[in-house]
Amino acid sequence: MNILMLTNTYKPLVGGLERSVEAFSREFRKLGHRVIIVAPEFEDMQPDPDVIRIPAIQNFNGSDFSVQLPIPGVLPDALGDFKPDIVHAHHPFLIGDTALRIAYKNNVPLIYTYHTAFEYNLHYVPIKESTLKKFVIELSTGYANLADHVFAPSESIKAILQERGVTTPIDVIPTGIDLKSFSHGKGQAFRRKHGIPLRAFVVGYVGRLAPEKNLEFLATAVARFIQKVPQAVYMVAGKGPSEAILREIFSREKVEKNLFLVGTVTGTNLSDCYHAMDVFAFALQSETQGLVLAEAMACRVPVVAVDAAGVREVVKDEKNGRLLSVESMDDFVAALEWIHSIPDERRREIQRACRQTASEFAMNKIVKKVGQVYFSLILKDFVRRPSENSVWENTLRLIKAQWDLTRNLTKATGTMLLPESAPEPSIIVEPEKNKGPANPTWHSRLVQIFY
């Protein structure tokens, strides 16, 4: 089977989405399938024969991201004689448009994975938030209804998509984890490497350091916990624009010596990093799955988190950590104290529960489920090879793709023009699927949201 994956972000960026694309691609290649990844160019990227890079503007708007340039003919030429059986889009915007056109041109199924709750990233764009929220919800919902199948990372996200009017079939497909690679780690060695006291109680975090991660609340809560438990430290793995804020908070709370920023951690070092922790702290309320939560639990590390979609499927209160019903500073500090003070026997019981939870996300199980969806779409006689069709039929399919994309963008843009007093727009999909091309001006203004 030939699988074509398209994503707006990929290595060398390190995040849940990038790791998801890499992991699924690796596992399907192990099974003998051909997987090609299409992504924008990034600085310091490593050459890979199975990754096609599209010319892009680097460090767009001062960010880490790249924005693809709409250069006609680049991707078809790069694909050569590669004919996809499945096109899998990991974003609905920018390169998502390209994914739909390729699927239409080759008359093959389009699968879309809803990785990101885009409406929570609106702080990046200087447009009224309530207006823009309607736009991104409508546009991503419309794109989901252009796909032949949608993957939601959790049951909570599936329910949200259905409430918004997604009628395309949806399967819950979380990103799998390699349990074996997380089974063992050199936690003490990782502590030594970064100057972390070996006897310290380590509160950990892994992820991009960005405003949408709710790090101001999280860092403040951890700092106040450390004021009560001076032998505790906060170990943060990742990079991003919020790094300075973390330093500022720990300085303000007078515990700056207890903050350890270890930078981006990948490969075997990631397992070592998790094994260096005593508890994983998480306060993001816009999570779609919580990959890092499952990874931490695979390393037998309990989690303290705020209840949210994608989180509640992983964290079970007082079973494998603490799940707080509301975002409360006092409650979060108290939950960290609860983890710190539990007896050894109870701690081992929680660690076993963590490992059991992680087993539900075993990569071999998840890949098998994805493969079944791929094959079901192909075997139900969806696919007709382009060689069997006339040039005229191929042209008509491309015209339809462009028309559908245009209709989707027009419908989403219309929601922004509604009076503020008007009720939230109904996101009920029309009987005939609506699809549509994104305007480059909108792309450039909204790009920060779409990662």
**Are 262 and 380 members of one domain?**
no
Report whether pLDDT(120) > 80.
no
**Are 287 and 398 members of one domain?**
no
Q: Which residue has the higher pLDDT, 239 or 77?
A: 239
Report whether pLDDT(71) > 70.
no
**Are 31 and 109 members of one domain?**
yes
Q: Determine the average pLDDT of the residues in 93-118.
A: 86
Determine how many CB atoms are found less than 10 A away from the CB of residue 380.
9
302-311 burial: b if 16+ Cβ within 10 Å, else e = bbbbbebbbb
What are 232-254's pLDDT values in tens digits? 999 999 999 999 999 999 999 99
**Are 191 and 99 members of one domain?**
no
When divided into structural domains, the chain yields a total of: 2
The DSSP element (H or E) to which 5 belongs, if any, is strand 2-6
**Are 122 and 163 members of one domain?**
yes
Lowest mean pLDDT among 113-117, 129-133, 258-262: 129-133
**Domain termination site, one of 359, 385, 420:** 359
Q: Which residue has the higher pLDDT, 97 or 220?
A: 220
**Domain termination site, one of 330, 359, 388:** 359
Determine how many CB atoms are found less than 10 A away from the CB of residue 90.
28
The structure's pTM equals 0.76
**Are 200 and 313 members of one domain?**
yes
Q: Is 362 exposed, middle or buried (0-12, 13-18, 19+ CB in 10 A)?
A: middle
Q: What is the pLDDT of residue 134?
A: 77
Residue 170: domain span: 2-176+364-450
**Are 143 and 187 members of one domain?**
no
Residue-wise DSSP of 15-48 = SHHHHHHHHHHHHHHHTT-EEEEEEE--TTPPP-
CATH number at residue 353: 3.40.50.2000
**Domain termination site, one of 328, 359, 390:** 359
Taking alpha carbons only, the member of 147, 117, 153, 119 closest to residue 133 is: 119
**Are 155 and 237 members of one domain?**
no
CA atoms within 13 A on the CB side of 210: 17
**Are 8 and 156 members of one domain?**
yes
pLDDT class of 425 with cuts at 50, 70, 90: very low
Instruction: Pick from 341-345, 384-388, 429-433 the range whose average pLDDT is largest.
Output: 341-345
Q: Which residue has the higher pLDDT, 5 or 434?
A: 5
Report whether pLDDT(229) > 80.
yes
Q: Determine the average pLDDT of the residues in 112-134.
A: 62
Sequence-separated (6 or more) residues with CB below 8 Å from residue 154: 172, 174, 288, 289, 290, 309, 310, 313
Q: What is the pLDDT of residue 11?
A: 83
- Describe the crossing of helices 329-341 and 215-228 by its angle, rounded to 10 degrees: 50
**Are 15 and 145 members of one domain?**
yes
pLDDT class of 116 with cuts at 50, 70, 90: confident
pLDDT class of 18 with cuts at 50, 70, 90: confident
**Are 90 and 169 members of one domain?**
yes
CA distance 40 to 8: 6
Report the percent of the chain where pLDDT is more than 90: 56
What are 364-409's pLDDT values in tens digits? 999 999 999 999 998 875 554 444 455 445 545 555 555 565 666 5
**Are 97 and 231 members of one domain?**
no
Q: Which runs of consecutive H residues, i.e. helices, occur in 90-154? A: 95-106, 129-144
